[in-house]
Amino acid sequence: MSYLSDQLAAGQFVVTAEIAPPKGTNLAPALADVKKFAGITAVNVTDNQGANMRLSPLALAAQLQQAGTETILQLTCRDRNRMALQSDLLGAAAFGIENLLLLSGDHSKFGDHPDARPVFDLDSVQLLDMTAGLMAGFDMVGKPLNGVPSFFPGAAVNPAAEPFELIFQKVAKKVDSGARFFQTQSIFERDSLERFMAAMAPLNVPVIAGVLLIRSGKMARFLNDNIPGVQVPESLLERFDRARDPMAAGIAIARETVSWARDLCQGVHLMTLGHEDKIPAILE
């Protein structure tokens, strides 16, 4: 079993973070950044995040795993058909990667290759079903595998999204299809997480709340205008506008979010976007 699954099963509060593969072949900066992740249970390796082309997440995750860092491999349906998804999952298993975050993925029109043809052969629920099939020893057409993978599959959710009932129906489907944990998109308001966790209670699946380090009011407004699913509330925008040191304000807001997340869910997922050195201050 993975360290992440062991900690969640034991009821420990976990902390995950994320790193993006380079746009190129130089892994040295990413490998150096990971060394700053003190106290982190596992590190997500993103998959062409925001539909921007980067090195394969499997390549970086394999390097990190072999160096002793537990990873959560993100895999999207946007860029691969069902054959490629199965191949990459079996490849991950061969490198000892167990933790997965299985996603549909942002549409390619939002990224740096807007003319790329998106695949979406499967959606995230079907990808979870396919992963469960591989763990049962069979590919999608029922042929037996020579060597069976063991995974700890996770899924994503936006607790603040509306209509809530419709969003939660898909959450329940993901649980039925084998999601063993959830990582949320950026969460900014306690009420949204409280409502979501109350609905999650009967499902008994751990939730890791997404905490985004916002560095300024300008960044917050950019997120609101350009990033689907992210909505920084007006109260926080006003707080940044009043702040003499916007970065310090952002760290304080992230620290407060971690504090109330400890009361409500099973962990936090820190998105520091190149400011990994701020993680100790956020976790104080």
DSSP codes joined into one string, 99-164:
EEEEE----GGGSS-TTSPP--SS-HHHHHHHHHHHHTTB-TTSPBPSS----EEEEEE-TT-SSH
Q: For the purposes of burial, counting CB atoms within 10 Å of the CB of 95, is it exposed (0-12), middle (13-18) or buried (19 or more)? A: middle
Residues 47 and 70 sit within 8 Å (Cβ to Cβ):
no
pLDDT of residue 220: 94
Distances, alpha carbon 9 to alpha carbons 5, 30, 127, 179, 207, in Å: 6, 29, 24, 14, 12
Look at residue 23 and tell me whether its pLDDT is greater than 90: yes
Look at residue 38 and tell me whether its pLDDT is greater than 80: no
pLDDT of residue 229: 76
The alpha-carbon radius of gyration of the chain (Å, integer) is 18
Q: Quick: pLDDT tens for 156-173.
A: 999 998 899 999 999 999
Residues contacting 25, CB < 8 A, separation 6+: 55
Look at residue 284 and tell me whether its pLDDT is greater than 90: no
pLDDT of residue 227: 81
Total count of residues recorded for the chain: 284
pLDDT of residue 188: 95
Q: At what angle do helices 124-135 and 82-94 cross, to 10 degrees?
A: 50
Q: What angle do CA 209, 70, 98 make, to 5 degrees?
A: 85
Q: Quick: pLDDT tens for 137-153.
A: 999 999 999 999 999 99
pLDDT of residue 231: 87
Q: Quick: pLDDT tens for 199-244.
A: 999 999 999 999 999 999 999 999 989 887 788 999 999 999 999 9
Least confident of 123-132, 215-224, 228-237, 256-265: 228-237
Distance between CA atoms of residues 265 and 262, nearest Å: 6
pLDDT of residue 1: 59
* The pair of three-digit structure tokens given for residue 74, joined into one six-digit string: 């993100």
Bridge partners (DSSP) listed for residue 182: 155, 207
Distance between CA atoms of residues 133 and 215, nearest Å: 42
Q: What angle do CA 280, 235, 275 make, to 5 degrees?
A: 25
| 3-class state of residue 3 by DSSP | helix
Q: For the purposes of burial, counting CB atoms within 10 Å of the CB of 25, is it exposed (0-12), middle (13-18) or buried (19 or more)? A: exposed
Complete domains list, the chain, with CATH: 3-213+266-279 (3.20.20.220)
In the chain, the percentage of residues whose pLDDT exceeds 70 is 100
Least confident of 34-48, 73-87, 186-200, 245-259: 34-48
* The pair of three-digit structure tokens given for residue 257, joined into one six-digit string: 């979010």
Least confident of 6-10, 44-48, 96-100, 279-283: 279-283
Least confident of 27-36, 48-57, 210-219: 27-36
